[in-house]
Amino acid sequence: MFPSFLPTAVGQLQEPAAIALAQSIQSQAIATPLANQPINTTYVHQGSGGVPILLIHGFDSSVLEFRRLLPLLAAKNETWAVDLLGFGFTERLADIEYSPTAIKTHLYYFWKTLINQPVILLGASMGGAAAIDFTLTYPEAVQKLVLMDSAGLQGGSPLSKLMFPPLDYYATEFLRSPKVRDRISRAAYKATHLASNDSVACAALHLQMPSWSQALITFTKSGGYRAFKRQKLAEITQPTLILWGDSDKILGTKDAQRFQNAIPNSKLSWIKDCGHIPHLEQPELTAEYILVFCNI
């Protein structure tokens, strides 16, 4: 059985890993200073033991992007994945300013309410920028940091130029297009055959949540995650693992070394024969790197 708060199209998923993860998604009302009412926040929690791992998804995505990685990590460590404010299946309340500041505030109260101990924080793509921002603001909550094909050195979004009426509506409808999402999916993989119709459907399931378009417009108008200055990255004291697909066509590969040069206590490991999403394309190897790092 799938949770009732998921779109009915969840029943069309075919990949066993996606079905299993969707069935395990939970929702918790999280009180924050952002609104007068709690925010119903969706997450997955599996495994036990070790330092908890908290997984942060990328732009316009959901916890389902960790469907192949999370079970591998949970076999050894307590593992969480959460839908960020304004994304995934987490509730999108009216009158909230969906911005990086709101995202890290909501994430902090999620962490405080359900975990409340230092975590190994992993961010993928835009989630990497969110993880950096969270780590710099709440260093007590993060024991180690993992950045996977991370944003954070290239600020802004091309979509921000289109976010005024009526183009803001057309920009989000453009992103809603199955053909567009298929092209994005194929660009994210090196092995493009992995970008199946089912994987595209999985990545688009959250688009059916109420107020998806409005929240995405608001977030993009906020400017999104701007580039972190080198001196700011130098303030990260936590041990940091940088994982990067050696054939990343979305962000390229130059930022991997730039992150390593900027973050003092960091190590770079390349995921061979892999594009922008190692957790989907090479989940076993990615999990191996992460679990070794967890136990150092």
The enclosing domain of 31 has a CATH number of 3.40.50.1820
> What's the confidence (pLDDT) of residue 113?
98
Quick check: is 7 in a domain? no
Q: Is the pLDDT of residue 168 over 80?
A: no
Q: Is the pLDDT of residue 159 over 60?
A: no
The crossing angle, in degrees rounded to 10, of helices 167-176 and 212-221 is 120
Quick check: is 117 in a domain? yes
* Gap between the Cα atoms of 274 and 234, Å rounded: 28
- The dihedral over CA atoms of 265, 66, 186, 16, expressed in degrees to the nearest 10, equals 150
Q: Is the pLDDT of residue 2 over 70?
A: yes
The alpha helices in 24-146, defined as continuous H runs, are 70-74, 100-114, 126-137
> What's the confidence (pLDDT) of residue 165?
59
Q: Is the pLDDT of residue 42 over 60?
A: yes
**Would you give the DSSP letter of residue 123?**
E
Quick check: is 262 in a domain? yes
At 281, list the tokens: 């394309």
Quick check: is 4 in a domain? no
Q: How confident is the model at residue 156 (pLDDT cuts 50, 70, 90)?
A: low
Residues 237-275 have pLDDT tens digits of: 999 999 999 999 999 999 999 999 999 999 999 999 999
Q: Is the pLDDT of residue 157 over 80?
A: no
Q: How far is CA 217 from CA 10, 130, 195, in A?
A: 24, 18, 26
Q: Is the pLDDT of residue 65 over 80?
A: yes
Q: Which residues contact 236 (CB under 8 A, 6 or more apart)?
A: 132, 135, 136, 145, 263, 264, 265, 266
Quick check: is 2 in a domain? no
For residue 209, give the 3-state DSSP assignment: coil
Quick check: is 5 in a domain? no
Number of domains in the chain: 1
For residue 258, give the 3-state DSSP assignment: helix
Half-sphere exposure of 184 (CA within 13 A, CB side): 17
Residue in 258, 264, 278, 240 with CA at minimum distance from that of residue 153: 258
> What's the confidence (pLDDT) of residue 39?
98
* Gap between the Cα atoms of 283 and 281, Å rounded: 6
For residue 249, give the 3-state DSSP assignment: coil
Q: How confident is the model at residue 166 (pLDDT cuts 50, 70, 90)?
A: low
Quick check: is 37 in a domain? yes
Residues 73-98 have pLDDT tens digits of: 999 999 999 999 999 999 999 989 99
> What's the confidence (pLDDT) of residue 185?
85
Lowest mean pLDDT: which of 18-22, 142-146, 173-177? 173-177
Residue 88: give the domain boundaries.
12-294
Residue in 124, 127, 43, 46 with CA at minimum distance from that of residue 81: 43
Q: How confident is the model at residue 221 (pLDDT cuts 50, 70, 90)?
A: confident
Q: Is the pLDDT of residue 195 over 90?
A: no
Q: How confident is the model at residue 99 (pLDDT cuts 50, 70, 90)?
A: very high
* High-pLDDT (> 90) share of the chain, %: 82
Residues 255-279 as b or e (16 or more Cβ within 10 Å = b): bbeebbebbeebebbebeebbbbbb
Length reported for the chain: 296
Quick check: is 6 in a domain? no
* Gap between the Cα atoms of 27 and 5, Å rounded: 8
Q: How confident is the model at residue 193 (pLDDT cuts 50, 70, 90)?
A: confident
- Bond preceding residue 33 cis, omega within 30 of 0: no
